[in-house]
Amino acid sequence: MYLRRDVRPEDPDHVERIVASTGFFNPEEIQVARSLVEEHLRNGPGCGYHFLFAQRGDRPAGYACYGPILGTDRRFDLYWIAVDPAHQKMGLGRLLLEATEEAVRALGGRKIYVETSSRALYEPTRRFYLKAGYGIEAVLQDFYAPEDHKIILSKTL
């Protein structure tokens, strides 16, 4: 297993497969994840979306997508971390998160933000970020749907 930063033409298919396999995301969200990779392929890193892929053989087992928040002073969003269920519980998510934080630091980033849902399905996700040193910044009530709040977490790097 190794991490790579380059985005390859086959990566939209891999990202779609990984995100869909988690069972966390609806079809629209899966297409958003795919479209960010396609945007990067069309326009390069200047599009604002950066990627890390945890590569196992010829297929990624997980990936992260992050980028600078325009109009801010060295703040970044972590848009996605997703790991194929066959590779979960092996520390791969933590590896991707730590590598993303390192990459953000290398780009001059000082703070990173993550958004997640308040639904029970996302409780392990929230624990993952809290354990990694992220704190809850805000809760936007009924953001995604009634009783499904957006939880914004952050970490100073």
pLDDT in tens, 31-56: 999 999 999 999 998 999 999 999 98
Confidence of residue 133 (pLDDT cuts 50, 70, 90): very high
Instruction: Please report, for residues 57, 66, 68, 140, 141, the alpha-carbon distance to residue 49 in angstroms, rounded to integers and kept in the order given.
Output: 24, 6, 8, 24, 27
**Closest residue by Cα to residue 54 from 107, 94, 101, 105:** 94
65 has a pLDDT exceeding 90:
yes
Q: What percent of the chain has pLDDT over 70?
A: 100
Domain boundaries, the chain: 1-109, 110-157
Mean pLDDT of 13-28: 95
How large is the average pLDDT for residues 7-34?
Answer: 95
The model's pTM: 0.93
Q: Is the pLDDT of residue 58 over 90?
A: no
CATH code of the region 1-109: 3.40.630.30
Mean pLDDT computed over 62-72: 97
pLDDT of residue 155: 98
Please give the pLDDT value at position 154: 98
pLDDT recorded at residue 1: 84
| Measured distance CA(153)–CA(139) in Å, rounded | 9
Distance (Å, whole) CA 105 – CA 75:
10
Provide the sign of the torsion angle of the four alpha carbons 126, 130, 133, 135, taken in this order.
positive
* pLDDT, the chain, mean: 96
CA distances from 82 to 60, 94, 95, 106 (A): 10, 11, 12, 22
Rounded to whole angstroms, the Cα distance separating 115 from 23 reads: 18
